Chains A and B, each alone.
Chain A
């Protein structure tokens, strides 16, 4: 494909990711509301939130690293969207595989750590150290799951993995051929989204939302955008690895909303684990199930 098509795809993929991600954030709030027996926010609520936050007129910046941190947080995910193939647009997914995608998904947390470090608020420092510990915890089963899938498919390229599953029909889906890895992946998904019971790094009443304590106005708007990207990336990645991608947009969206519904429904019923319990849990169960799954695959 020529350059202009590529540029158009690279522009559209994050944009679509943002819009779908906003809808997923709304979906999360609606599910939480229905579980708590109340009506949730109206349909365009996340958009109102983002527009309002970016419309704040005064903000307090703690320095250049504070701003850079937010840019890194958003930029890491925007780069990740360009590597995530969706029906009709492949972006640069042919050049970078799952490994690059995983690497890019770690950049936002590190960027946020830089930004929070400059804020010099003790609540923020505690929160971000917990967030990085949690990232260490869920990355181990994440890597095991990805290794298993890549070994089974014979390549680390997402496009080939999706093609393999779609050609074999529904019997060739990852969740049918590698059920143990799919289960481990689901638990890891809950950890990487940062939902209860793995929500220690936010902890709103305990450490005043941890890393977001000094972020207001445009910074918080950037973090909201990052959250919508995070939902989208995690869901579409899981669908691509285990549920056969999507041959059309409708199928992809249906599957990713289903995938997101599962951890969210569980999340609102749980309190949160402490950091060491979280690490112990994520290093025990998903890792054991994942290793067992890899043993079946290899």
Chain B
């Protein structure tokens, strides 16, 4: 009833719809216009994750998907191997021979990424939408 009255008295504005559509379309436009930004973001995202788990860099997928009123970042990052929980304490206490090679690799990647991982943070904020990171289960 109130909705009917609001309509009757001219409260059925479509400008809110226009605003919402504009907001979303501009976010998508800006993303499309900045492919190098997406590449950088992808690389840095992987760098951060690689500090904790080893991922398959060749098979990473990062997409933006429009849902009803948000733009979401969907990342599929296959994990090759996972360090043990409390890895630091374990690594010094008992280094088992079979886990040594994968462990050293992520550490190296994390180290090299440290230097280049700084500037993009603020750019990522431009998206104003929740970033969903869906990580696939470990392959190994």
Chains A and B come from one and the same complex: no
